[in-house]
Amino acid sequence: MTRNVLLLSIFAILGYGFWISPDFKTIAAGVAIFLLGMLSLEKGFKSFSGGVLANFLQRTTDATWKSLSFGMVATSLMQSSSLVSVLTISFLSAGLIPLAQGIGIIFGANLGTTTGAWLV
């Protein structure tokens, strides 16, 4: 019962926001597209699980220092810690890597963002 009331109130607030502000529509559409992309990415990674990608991730993240290094190298190559973080979250939700290794990759991604400053 409370869940239905909560959902109804959320829909009412969203409807009011859509009615009042066109900018609210743009922001909501952007968030919806982002979430759809994340769900599609997760579904794609789940279809890859058990294959080459899973074996590669298992070898490169089986120790914490390896996952930290993997995050640093991936961010240095892609120059985007946000992309590495999104991919790591997708790997976690698909069950390709455990949480400890995911945290190591994200810490490595944060360290890898400084490589541009090191090179300059």
Could you give the residue ranges of the DSSP H alpha helices within the chain? 2-20, 22-48, 52-60, 64-78, 81-94, 99-112, 115-119
Q: What's the first-to-final CA gap in the chain, in angstroms? A: 59
pLDDT in tens, 59-78: 888 888 999 999 999 998 88
| Stated pTM of the model | 0.65
- What does the CA dihedral 79, 82, 84, 88 come to, rounded to 10 degrees? 170
Mean pLDDT of the chain: 83
